[in-house]
Amino acid sequence: MQEITVEVTKGLGRLIKPGMSEFELAEAYTRMLSDNGLKDHWYPILVYAGEITGKPISRRFHLPSADVAVEENDIVMLDSTPIDGTVWSNWSETFLIGKDDFYQAIISDTEKIVDETYDYLASEAKTVGDIYDFCNLRISNYGLQSLDPRNDVGHSIFQVPEGQTVDKTPMGDRLFINEEYRNSPIEGIISIEPQLGRINPADGKMYSAKMQKVFICP
């Protein structure tokens, strides 16, 4: 499932053109996942384009809009969480449409932070707090800031009862890479996926990227 979700996300990223709306992209995302056997979703599909990426990536803040269109040189985030029975997969990736050095730098720096945090998780980290502190130090070093409302830099991926969406999943069943879970052990499947922003000096607005890597604990 994870391989399909990643492949579909990257495939849609290659198809994004200026003028396409977030809603149009979400419909294409849903259709492409369904064509590959993933018809249901644990968490709603999210599409954020342009300055909307300056909002926290969450269904509570923004859902794909027919009124938000991709610009000629733009930044677009895709995020999906398909579910099949009791198992859900998850992938988030940010794409540069056209050419823009500022957007490219956000995407590249966010990807570096995710890669470095993943390597630390795989080699040295002992607790959630270790991951959280390491990632936040890298965020600061790269001159970015977390836009997540709880300052999460990742979360666990876990099995749920069949048909149970995020709204029906108790918060106590979930694990987030944040201050609250500092002393929790590292176990199961861990997704590193901070949403990291930077103000564009060209217009004074915040933009962000979200990249992802998934670690399966031995």
Please report the pLDDT score of residue 131 as a whole number.
Answer: 98
Return the residue matching tokens 């269904």.
Answer: 59
Q: What does the pLDDT average to over 145-171?
A: 94
Tokens of 167: 């709204």
Residue 69 has pLDDT above 90, yes or no: yes
Q: What is the mean pLDDT of residues 170-180?
A: 93
In this model, does residue 165 exceed pLDDT 90?
Answer: yes
In 3D space, the residue among 82, 80, 65 whose CA is nearest the CA of residue 20 turns out to be 65
Say whether pLDDT at 73 is over 90: yes
d(CA 179, CA 26): 32
* Residue 184 confidence class, pLDDT cut points 50, 70, 90: very high
Residue 218 confidence (pLDDT)? 86
**Range(s) of the domain holding residue 18:** 2-216
- Counting the structural domains of the chain, the total is 1
- Beta-carbon contacts of 185 under 8 Å, excluding residues fewer than 6 positions away, are 126, 127, 128
pLDDT at 172 over 90: no
Q: At 29, phi and psi to the nearest 5?
A: -60, -50
Residue 68, domain CATH: 3.90.230.10
Put simply, whether the predicted model's pTM sits higher than 0.85 gets the answer yes
Does residue 76 sit in helix, strand or coil?
strand
